[in-house]
Structure 1
Amino acid sequence: MNHRRTRLAVFLAAGVLLLSACGGSPGLAALDRAATAQDELPADVEFSPGFEAASVRLLATENGLKFYAAQGADRRTVCLAVVSVEGPGGWTAGCGTLATAGTLVDVGSGPLEVSAALTADGTTAELMESDGWTKVHENVYIREFTAG
């Protein structure tokens, strides 16, 4: 009788493990690649405390702007920095919480004249483009900045 219960418990535990592996966890695959020299965040740009400097990746360069993403030490926070290639001082950044779909971080800045959104893996371009966003990377969308 106890042997039967043990087998049932092992079977149920294995099922739970298999289901959790299939469900997947939110994340940004773009942060999984090895870092290169291009991924170094400019010295004057700062994310909020708690982000992992080693996780910074340059995702795109578009319209004189560079788009960097990073992950927090808690593995649930992601950050987006928009940096002008013109030189120091022209940047904006923000952080948000990982989710399985949609916008994770939305930053905008008048001086840069652009709003940028960092999206979760699998977010469809149609969803973002229907709201006026333009795709510049699998996880980065931009649109003209509007104060609001």
Structure 2
Amino acid sequence: MPVLIILAIVVALALGVLLNPLPKPAELAVLDRPATAADTLPEGVAPVPNGEHTLRLVADADDIRYFVSRNAEGTTSCLTVYPDKHPMQWVAGCGTGGNSDQEITRIGSNGIVTAVLVPDGYNTSELEQGGFKKVHDNVYAARTPRVPGSF
């Protein structure tokens, strides 16, 4: 009798997994393209994540460069924002981006831009309603009015 109970539990768990599949992992197809000379961070900008990683320049919009990177294991993805007119205000942030329906990371450079890294296939309607503009399929940005200390 205990064998039947254990078998019934195993079958129920297996059906639960089949009927409720895990979310699709976050993907960034842009990292699959071959690297070019432009896919190099400006001098003085620390690469993220630490260790071996893939890095691509994905957009250059309004004097701001957006770089996307991922560690070799594919577990951490990062966004680096480099404002050419304010190079000391570059920012970077990383996230695990566990599945395709979650933002990977959201970062901001005070007075310049807030940017969001999203996986392929992400529903961006809420970002767009919130004032974010597409600068790349995986990057949405919202400009802020001014750099602190400037006129």
Output the TM-score relative to the length of structure 1. Answer: 0.73
Counterpart amino acid of residue 26 in structure 2: P
Q: Deviations 1:42-83 (Å, cap 9, x if unpaired)? A: 121114453534x11000011110000000133110010000
Aligned positions of 1:1-148 closer than 5 A: 25-53=25-53, 55-86=54-85, 88-98=87-97, 99-111=99-111, 113-145=112-144
Aligned-residue CA RMSD (Å): 2.1
Identity of aligned residues (%): 36
Give the Cα–Cα distance (whole angstroms) in 2 for the partners of residues 39 and 51 of structure 1: 17
Q: State the one-letter code of the partner of 2:46.
A: E
Q: Flag structure 1 segments of 5+ consecutive residues without an equivalent.
A: 1-22
Native 8 Å contact 1:78 1:95 kept in 2? yes
Q: How much has 1:88 moved relative to structure 2? A: 4.1
* Runs of 5+ consecutive residues of structure 2 not aligned to the other structure: 1-22, 146-151
| Gap change, CA 1:51 and 1:138, over 3 Å in 2 | farther
Question: What is the alpha-carbon distance in structure 2 between the residues aligned to residue 103 and residue 29 of structure 1?
Answer: 15
Could you tell me how far apart the structure 2 residues matched to 1:64 and 1:82 are? 11
Aligned pair count reads 122
> Partners of 2:120 and 2:49 in 1: how far apart?
24
Distance 1:46 1:138, change over 3 A: same
Measured in 2, the distance between the counterparts of 1:110 and 1:85 equals 14
Q: SS of the residue aligned with 2:38? A: helix
Cα deviation 1:70-122 (Å, max 9, x = unaligned): 001331100100002236423110100122123111001115x1100000110
TM-score by length of 2: 0.71
CA distance in 1, matches of 2:55, 2:31: 7
Q: Which aligned runs of 4 or more in structure 1 are off by greater than 6 angstroms?
A: none
Conserved? CA contact 1:70–1:79, under 8 Å: yes
Q: Please identify which structure carries the higher helix content.
A: 1
